[in-house]
Chains A and B, each alone.
Chain A
Amino acid sequence: MATAMPSIACLGLIGRNNNPLHISIFPSHDPATNTFAPIRTPLQFSLLLSSAIDVFDLRAKHNAISGVGLSGDFGLLHAVDDRLAAYGFETNTGVRMVCVVDMRGRRVDSSAAGSRGVGTGLRDAELKPVFRAMQNAYVHLLQNPFYDPDEHAPLGGMGGKKITSRKFAEDMKRIGEGWTPGVSTL
């Protein structure tokens, strides 16, 4: 019998001006047809990321008042339904990363599932390698002298271009496809 494991459904990078910098969507396994397809449309994922911005703002305010939130990791932002959950991270420069996890996105054979129970949920720490790898990819992008961050988040506070770097997109693809719960480096 085949069971399912969590996988990444979408990786989003949001700029300082609440502008989308990058969105990568990954297919999930559909047990009914045994095929791989994204479980939401690109527009729906885009809306999911937009709604995550509100949670970021709310948490940031809450953290500033209570004096906690010493790291950029926001943990679980919101659970969309029984399958999708959004996790967030914010860098010190105001770039936000959102990882939408599909709790049943990856197929595993029952033998391979082994000790790990299915449907036990995720701990925030299990997403840490994802955000660390995403941040590394972003730092590498900034080391490219032809990438101008101000084009992507102008100081005026409005708009900004998307990231067009092929290398960055490949990094996101590698992260999204490579992650499973328990992976420590990506």
Chain B
Amino acid sequence: MSFEPVMPPYNSSDPSANFLSSSCLDFLLIELVPLAYRVTHDRDAAVLEPTTTPTDVASTSHAVSSNAAGVVSAPGTRKVDDEEDLDAVHYRLEMLGYRVGQGLVERFSRDRPRFNDTLDVIKFLCKDLWSLVFGKNIDNLKTNHRGVYVLTDNTFRPFSRMSTEAGGQAIVRAQPVTSPDPFRAYLVFAN
């Protein structure tokens, strides 16, 4: 997601480096949330109605996908508990990001010195990984020295194309993001 020319050793002469249009990535990010809704719902529907004929499934998924904004109440499907539904969607998105992160860390921690403690890991996250993925360093790092780290990024790149309601107090409503790692990382996104 870095938009600047990449620094060596990750430039175009690196045979294992792949490049991709930043617009494509923006489109993907935009589509990711509706996609997570659709997939979660289609899977729920498939589990709930295993006897449904294929044509029914197709029509259901079509009805759901036409409802791309995400509030899903397609006729014919069971009325799912809204909160549970939202949790499932969040979980799906989180797991997508988690998997991407695992790949990135394996790739970019390759030539780094060893991490001896959690602080080394957080430093790698703030300095190396953040600038590789988001094109800038993290703005602020706070810790209570008991394993909780708060990372603040004031201009988070993926949010730059997103609109928010004026005076929506996005910072106040920002949710802490917990990672499934043994130590907990709280990421606060403020835009």
Q: Which A residues lie within 8 Å of B103 (CB)?
A: 142-143
Q: B113 and A71: CB pair below 8 A? A: yes
A-B contacts at CB below 8 angstroms, number: 41
Return the chain A residue nearest B103 by Cβ. A142
Q: Which B residues lie within 8 Å of A135 (CB)?
A: 110
Residues of A157-171 contacting chain B, CB below 8 A: none
Return the chain B residue nearest A157 by Cβ. B182
Q: Type the 1/0 row for B89-131, where 1 means its CB is closer than 8 Å to any CB of A.
A: 0000000000100110111011011111000000000000000
Return the chain A residue nearest B112 by Cβ. A92
Q: A64 and B116: CB pair below 8 A? A: yes
Residues of A70-98 contacting chain B, CB below 8 A: 70-72, 90-93
Q: Type the 1/0 row for A37-75, where 1 means its CB is closer than 8 Å to any CB of B.
A: 000000000000000000000000000100001111000
Cα–Cα distance between A142 and B99 once the two chains are bound (Å): 9
Q: B16 and A140: CB pair below 8 A? A: yes
Interface of A is mostly: loop
Q: Which A residues lie within 8 Å of B106 (CB)?
A: 91, 93, 138-139, 142
Closest beta carbon of chain B to A117's beta carbon, Å: 33
Q: Is residue B180 within 8 Å, beta carbon to beta carbon, of the partner chain?
A: yes
Q: What bracket does the count of chain A residues touching chain B fall in?
A: 20 to 34
Looking at A92, A138, A149, which has the most chain B CB atoms within 10 Å of its CB? A92
Q: What bracket does the count of chain B residues touching chain A fall in?
A: 10 to 19
Q: B180 and A155: CB pair below 8 A? A: yes
Return the chain A residue nearest B181 by Cβ. A155
Q: Which A residues lie within 8 Å of B114 (CB)?
A: 69-72, 90, 92
Q: Which B residues lie within 8 Å of A90 (CB)?
A: 114
Q: Is residue A148 within 8 Å, beta carbon to beta carbon, of the partner chain?
A: yes
Q: B16 and A91: CB pair below 8 A? A: no
Q: Which A residues lie within 8 Å of B116 (CB)?
A: 64
Q: B115 and A92: CB pair below 8 A? A: yes
Q: Is residue A184 within 8 Å, beta carbon to beta carbon, of the partner chain?
A: no
Q: B99 and A148: CB pair below 8 A? A: yes
Return the chain B residue nearest A90 by Cβ. B114
Known: A64-B116, A140-B16. Contact between A91 and B102, CB under 8 A?
no
Cα–Cα distance between A165 and B113 once the two chains are bound (Å): 29
Cα–Cα distance between A136 and B105 once the two chains are bound (Å): 13
Q: Which A residues lie within 8 Å of B115 (CB)?
A: 92
Cα–Cα distance between A136 and B111 once the two chains are bound (Å): 11
Closest beta carbon of chain A to B92's beta carbon, Å: 14
Q: Which A residues lie within 8 Å of B102 (CB)?
A: 93, 142, 149
Q: Type the 1/0 row for B131-166, where 1 means its CB is closer than 8 Å to any CB of A.
A: 000000000000000000000000000000000000
Q: Type the 1/0 row for A120-151, where 1 means its CB is closer than 8 Å to any CB of B.
A: 00000000000000011011101101001100
Looking at B105, B106, B116, which has the most chain A CB atoms within 10 Å of its CB? B106
Q: Which B residues lie within 8 Å of A143 (CB)?
A: 103, 107
Q: Which B residues lie within 8 Å of A138 (CB)?
A: 106
Q: Which B residues lie within 8 Å of A92 (CB)?
A: 105, 109-110, 112, 114-115
Return the chain B residue nearest A92 by Cβ. B109
Additional 19 contacts, C-beta under 8 A, given A92-B105, A148-B99: A70-B114, A71-B114, A90-B114, A91-B109, A92-B109, A92-B110, A92-B112, A92-B115, A93-B105, A93-B109, A139-B110, A142-B103, A142-B106, A142-B107, A143-B103, A143-B107, A145-B99, A149-B102, A155-B180
